[in-house]
Amino acid sequence: MWNYSEKVYEHFRNPRNVGEIENPDAVGEVGSIVCGDVLKLTLKIDKQTERILDAKFKTFGCTSAIASSSVLTEMIIGKTINEAAKITNKDIVEYLGGLPKQKIHCSVMGAEALEAAIKNYRGEKLEKIYVGEGEKIVCECFQVTDTKILKAIQNNNLKTVEDVTNFTKAGGGCGKCKGEIEKILKDFWAQTGRKAFADMTIVEKVKQVENILGEVINPKLKGDGGWIELVDIEGMKIKLRFLGMCAGCPFAGDTLKNLVERELKRKLGQNISIEAE
């Protein structure tokens, strides 16, 4: 059972502004029936003031897709186009009192439909999936562009491919593009100063591992009269040696798994492997 907020349920039970405006001034339609959700947003706009006079939606989707669509119309009616353009998926989530992580993409669909409608109003070409210049589609299944993935990573501080899938659906179909998403993630975080372990020189890697051993792991083993030293690093494989009371200790295996591996993976990423002599 999803842990939906009361506000989500309320908007699902009594969705506002369901329907389609006749002769709309703007239309935004996103999603596809294959993916399992589609939102069609129609707007009535005052040409002089550029104020949104009315908004209606039609949605094929789950509880939170319907609730997201409903609150979107409520949020934009009365706003000018420029004001509405500032609304992000996070605003929709906030307005709903939160959404389960796996359902964030429903709010993204709302923000996208709005973006598409505004583009449509401004006379830009109406495409169901908007692919701008210099953009490329990363996820073929759900037609997700690199720009959209990057935006989701940036706005929501995403760290893993799974997060990206939850927010954008990219990678959730055939999964072929997961490698590419991983690369986008890595590049983004590398640029923002956090160099990935895989990209470090051997000297940087050694320093990093010794640091973690010296500051986090060995102080914890000290009480038991043991310690760990670094033997070698081959690519992503870190070779360690148990010393002192740890050498030959029957619980060394547990320590390796529960403490050493956990700490190193947390600091260096899940894709490293640990080996002990």
Partner 1 sequence: MRKNRIYYLDNNATTRVADEVYEAMLPFFGNLYGNPSSMHHFGGQVQKYINESREKLAALLGASSQEIIFTSCGSESDSTAIWSALRVCPEKKHIVTTRVEHPAVLSLAKHLEKIGYEVTYLPVDNDGNIDLDELRNSIREDTAIVSVMWANNETGVICPVEEAAEITKSKGAIFHTDAVQAAGKVPINMANSAIDMLSVSGHKFHAPKGVGALYVRKSVPFSPLIIGGHQENGRRAGTENVPYIVGLGKAAELAAKNIETENSKVSKLRDKLENGILKKIDNARINGKRDKRTPNTTNVSFKYVEGESILIMLSEENIAVSTGSACSSGSMEPSHVLLAMNVPKEYVHGSIRFSLSVYNTEEEVDYVLDKLTAVIKRLRDMSPFSDEKSAFGNEVHH
Q: Which residue out of 106, 139, 177, 246 is catalytically annotated?
A: 106
Helix (H, G, I), strand (E, B) or coil at 39: strand
In the complex, least distance from residue 19 CB atom to partner 1, rounded to whole angstroms: 9
Q: Is 174 a catalytic residue?
A: no
Residues 53, 43, 49: CA angle, nearest 5 degrees: 45
- Residue placing its CB nearer to partner 1 in the complex, 7 or 195: 7
In the complex, least distance from residue 175 CB atom to partner 1, rounded to whole angstroms: 8
In the complex, least distance from residue 258 CB atom to partner 1, rounded to whole angstroms: 22
**Which residues of the chain form contacts with partner 1 (CB under 8 A)?**
9, 12-13, 15, 18, 29, 33-40, 58-63, 65-66, 102-105, 165-169, 171-173
Q: How far is Cα 34 from Cα 12, in angstroms, rounded to an integer? A: 22
Q: Is 139 a catalytic residue?
A: no
Helix (H, G, I), strand (E, B) or coil at 200: coil
Quick one: DSSP state of residue 154?
Answer: H
Q: Which residue out of 35, 139, 141, 246 is catalytically annotated?
A: 35
Token code pair at residue 276? 């002990």
In the complex, least distance from residue 185 CB atom to partner 1, rounded to whole angstroms: 15
- Left, alpha or beta for 234 (phi > 0: left; psi -120 to 50: alpha)? beta
- Residue placing its CB nearer to partner 1 in the complex, 165 or 218: 165
CA distance between the termini of the chain: 46
Contacts of 250 (CB under 8 A, 6+ apart): none
- Residue placing its CB nearer to partner 1 in the complex, 157 or 201: 157
- Residue placing its CB nearer to partner 1 in the complex, 113 or 228: 113
Supply the residues annotated as catalytic: 35, 106
